[in-house]
Chains A and B, each alone.
Chain A
Amino acid sequence: MFKITTELIKPDALHEWILKPHHGAVVTFAGTVRDNTDGRQTARLEYETYAEMAEKKMVEIGEEIQDKWSIEDVAMIHRIGALKIGDISILIAVAAPHRKDTFEACSYAIDRVKQVVPVWKKEIWQDGDSEWAGDRH
């Protein structure tokens, strides 16, 4: 499952979805909305995406993981729209018969998402200002 959603992300649901009887390990990463960036207080975040391309790139990352570690069961859900402090913006799950490589594969997955998946976050600060993350030039 590789999808973009506007709905609340539920880790239990994804865990249930990915888990198969032959699995002995599930590693899950949740990216959550932090209350500050470099000390500046965040009010909320807004996420925007090029959905068609984002889902395609997430699928490709799953394929990369399959090539590198022979792990077939990878799922990613990225939420867009207005998110508040503590919300999960992205959930990645990796499952395999044994835990070997699952931690590394999950870590690789989030690193790759941040490189190539077209999702952008806008910081809305407590002071009312706002800024697209990465837009500092």
Chain B
Amino acid sequence: MNIHVKCFAGCKDVVGRSEQTINVPEDTTVGDAFDQLVNLYPGLSRFRSSLMLAVNTEYANRDIVLKEGDVLACIPPVSGGLAIADCRLRIAD
């Protein structure tokens, strides 16, 4: 299935583009999709412990299952890197 990936700030610099469509297996999770992105763009691995991911503009943990057409956004630390209150949402967890 196809999902749309958006990258911003430092992630966008690594990936080289702000938007793209990637093909992933059915029932791919957020975590698996991110791992697939890291395979494509190894430079993303340095964001593992700080990145947050969002699906269709909602923060998502790595267990969320993606659907066809979902928009996955890679969200590096916002506004100077203050830790989000909810650590569940760190992709490394």
Contact = CB atoms under 8 A, between A and B. Distances in A.
Nearest to A89: B79
Interface string B24-48: 0000000000000000000000100
A69 interface: no
Interface of B: 6, 8-10, 13, 46, 49-50, 54, 57, 59, 73, 75-85
23 contacts: A50-B8, A53-B57, A56-B57, A113-B79, A114-B79, A114-B80, A114-B82, A115-B78, A115-B82, A115-B83, A115-B84, A116-B78, A118-B73, A118-B75, A118-B78, A120-B78, A122-B9, A132-B10, A132-B13, A133-B80, A135-B9, A135-B81, A137-B50
A48 B8 contact: yes
B73 A135 contact: no
Interface residues of A, number: 22
Interface of A: 48-50, 52-53, 56, 113-122, 132-137
Main secondary structure of the interface of B (DSSP, over half): loop
Main secondary structure of the interface of A (DSSP, over half): mixed
B11 to A, nearest CB: 9
